[in-house]
Amino acid sequence: MGETDRYIEEVVRKGDEGSELLAALCAPTLKNSSHVDVLRQGMNGVAVLRIPEGYVVGVHSVGASPRARNMKNHAKSLVERLVAGSREAGLTPLAITDVVDASVGDKQTVETIGNSLVRAADRFRLPIVNGELAILGGRVNCVANISGTMLSLAKKGKYPLGEWEVGGREYVFFDPRGKAVFANSDGVGTKTDPHERAGSYHLAVDDFMAMILDDTIKLGARARVVSGVVETSGKIPFEKILGRAIRIGDNNNLLAALYRENMGNRLAGYKAGVPTYNLSGTVVSTIDEEELRNPPVPRAGDRILALQGPVSNPRSNGITAKREAMVRMFGNDWHETPIGREFLEF
């Protein structure tokens, strides 16, 4: 049994709930590509991509079709859109990631979505190298919304390295220079709610970057590209959000690109008629062979370094409970109360 087979067996065996179930369903697709190299087994295993000589990597993100209400068709449309975007730019589809933002995320829904993603991926002989399942409750005004990222192969010289618009889509090209390529996905979750209330829509980019980059650094990987989807309903300042993403990328020596998807009524804000949005995506990184052989692990004598910014700012994790507590105590428009304004600043 090969490393990829052992990895699939281990993941499938553990796939019982939520994200684990989605990972279990998608794991067999890793056999769709000879470019996949499994380095670590288990649910938190690591599968990287080996890029052939003479090629660079192109990255772009899209959302599944908002018009597809049936979840099988919605999930399938994501893969089809990603493949179409790759081919229209003259690239070779290599691998995909996905983010499933569900209202409830029950087992039947996850199975429906996962199986549809797998069938579509198998059709195009594509591996699903990473995925994320998030439960966003009432902010998702349907069963689930799905977005994803495509990693493609581009012959060196076809496109200059960096960000380029091709056929109305944003693509980012980078040269891994012989290093293994890794991709991991995450999103802001329901923390967009307080940003909406404060009108600080662009600050969700900071949360987005933090959520996806922490998984990258745990592997000793170097982030190269951040690519995501801003799902919107109503008038949301996308250009300001994109501008902040690009600036943070420039300040951290990585490329950033965001794609806007108008979701219509598939998203819901804190009350009817309020513009609302969601932000999730993927970071694509490279790992050198030394790090692959000696991944970061805690050792006796290691120290934890804590960095505090100019203001307090909770992570995106656990925001739902905080929001629900404020609604219970101060009502749906809690951000308009004196205590609510203070909490909103936090």
| pLDDT tens, position by position, 114-158 | 999 999 999 999 999 999 998 898 999 999 999 999 999 999 999
- Rounded to whole angstroms, how far apart are CA atoms 64 and 77? 5
Distance CA 166, CA 87 (A): 11
| Region for 242 from its dihedrals, namely left if φ exceeds 0, alpha if ψ lies in -120 to 50, beta otherwise | alpha
Work out the pLDDT band at 4, boundaries 50, 70, 90: low
Other Cβ atoms less than 10 A from the Cβ of 275: the count is 15
Among 20, 177, 38, 163, which Cα is nearest to 95's?
Answer: 38
Please state the length of the chain.
346
Taking the C-alpha atoms of residue 222 and residue 228, their distance in angstroms, rounded to an integer, is 18
- The predicted pLDDT at position 339 comes to 92
Q: What is the mean pLDDT of residues 237-249?
A: 96
The answer to pTM > 0.85 is yes
Helix (H) or strand (E) holding 144: strand 144-155
CATH hierarchy code of domain 48-293: 3.30.1330.10
pLDDT of 9: 56
CA–CA separation, 20 and 27 (whole Å)? 10
Indicate the residue type of 199.
G
Mean pLDDT of the chain: 90
Query: Is 71 a residue whose pLDDT tops 60?
Result: yes
pLDDT of residue 197: 95
Greater confidence (11 vs 313) lies with 313
> In this model, does residue 16 exceed pLDDT 70?
no
6 falls in which pLDDT band (50, 70, 90)? low
Q: What is the mean pLDDT of residues 151-170?
A: 93
Q: Which structure tokens are listed for 220?
A: 């000793």
Lowest mean pLDDT among 93-102, 153-162, 233-242, 291-300: 291-300
Per-residue pLDDT, averaged over 175-184, amounts to 96
Which pLDDT does position 46 carry in this prediction?
79
pLDDT value, residue 150: 98
Query: How far is it between the farthest Cα atoms of the chain?
Result: 63
